[in-house]
Amino acid sequence: MATKQKLPFIPLTESQQSAFCRTDENLLVKPLAEEFSAVVSWQDIPEKYHHMPGEELSTRISLARQELGEKLVILGHHYQRDEIVQFADFRGDSLKLSQQAAGQEKAEFIVFCGVHFMAETADILSASHQQVILPNITAGCSMADMARTDDVLDCWDDIQQILGDEKIIPITYMNSTAAIKSLCGKNNGIVCTSSNAKAVFEWAFERGNKVIFFPDQHLGRNTGLKLNIPIDQMLVWNPFKPMGGHDDEKIRDARVILWQGHCSVHTRFNVRQIEKARSEHPDINIIVHPECTMDVVEASDLDGSTEFIIDKINNAPPGSKWAVGTEISLVNRLSQENPDKLIFCLDSIVCPCSTMYRTHPAYLLWSLEKLLEGEVINQITVDEETAKYAKLALDRMLHEI
């Protein structure tokens, strides 16, 4: 049984989250050279792309995209900048985009404007002749980075030794590495999204006595509460403490074990922001993502996935007012697309997702122009064994939920 003490680990992607925060809402693209001043990890690209203004970048991306034709499909996650989303053949969340890309049989190249785990999922679900490209290789995900493979494997081994034959079902959120998805696939587990987490939990409890949920403790806790699981039957596993910081009895008594991970964007929201929005707009609707903390979700009117938030606001009556607890690029886009409604972000400090924001148009252009030269850069591949079991976990979600 593991007893070693591990040193605390803060992912670089987490420590750099505030790099793009601003006190105004001007998130218009700057030349890449200016954005290099933000203290984050950047991938080196040729100097000629550093000083191109936005207009030139857009023109050249359009030309490259046109020349590549049906061989290319560009995916744009909802949290991407507008300057990227405008070129997306498909816009959506990570799973939706991966599924859409897999359906484009003529496409040889899938350029995923998102983050690393999303490109991994696209590679797992796409055909063998398709190559998945991540324009900026440093676009990771702090939440996924909080569940390191070795730590998760140690946790799984520890829990198996304690519980013995008791059935525990591993569930991983889409926002996780292919390796964690593979662990779930190997052990009768499953993947979930923020939109189907409740149904996935129900699926798991039909097959086991306990659930272990990676890597976002807040989505896991909020989902457990929706199933009326008492808070004292959910514990948080700290990977830097022996046995996650718990004794054997507490682990045996828990129905849900939550990995100690979180989203750097959604944990910025707090109840004070909700109270301020309500005091300034008594008829406001508060809608947040379930990656927010439990108190924020409970203080809100509605919570749901990115697609849920988009649909709810787009279909709301004219004149309605919405304070939104999710990524600012999406909130700003919703406001622009719904000029008949008041829509604003709960957080007055504008903080885009720093890893999503690293997909600057210069990186998109560079990746496309390299394709025109016959070179594939930043291809994301998942090894055959990992992909096999990760796909098994994904297929359980896609076909059994």
Residue 2 pLDDT greater than 50, yes or no: no
Q: 355 falls in which pLDDT band (50, 70, 90)?
A: confident
Domains and CATH numbers, the chain: 27-140+355-382 (3.40.50.10800), 144-264 (3.40.50.10800), 266-345 (3.40.50.10800)
For the chain, how long is the longest CA-to-CA vector?
A: 63
Q: Report the predicted TM-score, pTM, of the whole model to 2 decimal places.
A: 0.93
Tell me what pLDDT residue 1 has. 44
Using CA atoms, how far residue 354 sits from 15, 16, 163, 250, 363, in Å, is 10, 7, 39, 37, 15
Residue 351 pLDDT greater than 80, yes or no: no
Least confident of 6-20, 130-144, 339-353: 6-20
Contact in structure between 241 and 9 (CB atoms under 8 Å): no
The pLDDT tens digits for 103-144 are 888 999 999 999 999 999 999 999 999 999 999 999 999 999
In the chain, pLDDT over 90 holds for what percent of residues?
Answer: 84
